[in-house]
Amino acid sequence: MTLDLPGHGDASALSATLPEIARLVLDALPREPFVLGGYSFGARVALHAALAEPERLTALVVVGGSRGILDPDERRQRRERDVALAAHLEAVGTEVFLSEWLAQPLFATLGPRAESDTRSHDAHGLAQSLRLAGTGTQEWLGERLATLDVPLLALAGELDAKFVAEARAIAATVPGGQFAAVLSAGHAAHLEQPEQVARAIEEFLA
């Protein structure tokens, strides 16, 4: 099952904070135990959902995930940048914003795979997602992850140094955590090296 998160796709009219999104995700998924996975924003949502109801998960996979920002001042500055970015998104529209977003060094290795008719087109919905659920709004999860009793695989593209460090830290903090680097990939590792990512997940689940 894949879900459109609030502000995105068919859920573009919904606005919610990270804890609220985690609750919406858990309410939408089957009651029987499941494996939960997420990429980037989705990985942050998945971590919140796992912390909320760990007993419902058989395993957790995060790609390019983040524990949040530990320093309160840095977190506030990031929140302010996200609010400004949201206003810019609404001003220029999704097409221009996406081009600017993908021009960041973070996505330098992604290439033309980013072109897709399934992208989100609702500027206000995406802006609300930045305002309410951007990294600047997220509580620091570092210590809480040590209580997470769920087998976890944290993946990151080897060329994405910041998120490699995050993935290593997440895997080291969660008692059942494992880390794996995706070779020849940046932040969007699952798009750049889909077979390698799929193989890593399959081996982990096996």
Determine the Cα–Cα distance for residues 141 and 169; give it in Å rounded to an integer: 11
Supply the pLDDT for residue 117: 55
Q: Tell me: pLDDT of 107 over 90.
A: no
Any domain includes 55: yes
Please give the tally of structural domains in the chain.
1
Supply the pLDDT for residue 113: 53
What confidence tier does 131 reach under pLDDT thresholds 50, 70, 90? very high
Determine the Cα–Cα distance for residues 205 and 185; give it in Å rounded to an integer: 22
Q: Are 129 and 8 in contact (CB under 8 A)?
A: yes
Any domain includes 3: no
For residue 93, the tally of other CB atoms under 10 A from its CB is: 11
Any domain includes 1: no
Q: Which range has the worst mean pLDDT, 73-77, 80-84, 110-114, 150-154?
A: 110-114
- Angle among Cα 121, 125, 129 to the nearest 5 degrees reads 120
Any domain includes 4: no
Any domain includes 156: yes
What confidence tier does 106 reach under pLDDT thresholds 50, 70, 90? confident
**How high does pLDDT run on average in the chain?**
94
Type of residue found at 165: A
Any domain includes 42: yes
Burial class (CB in 10 A: 0-12, 13-18, 19+), 114: middle
Mean pLDDT along residues 65-85: 97
**Rounded to whole angstroms, what are the CA distances from 44 to 38, 63, 183, 184, 206?**
7, 9, 22, 23, 24
Any domain includes 114: yes
Domain span at residue 40?
9-205
147-184: pLDDT as tens digits = 999 999 999 999 999 999 999 999 999 999 999 999 99
Supply the pLDDT for residue 206: 95
Any domain includes 92: yes
Structure tokens at 1: 């099952």
Residue 68, domain CATH: 3.40.50.1820
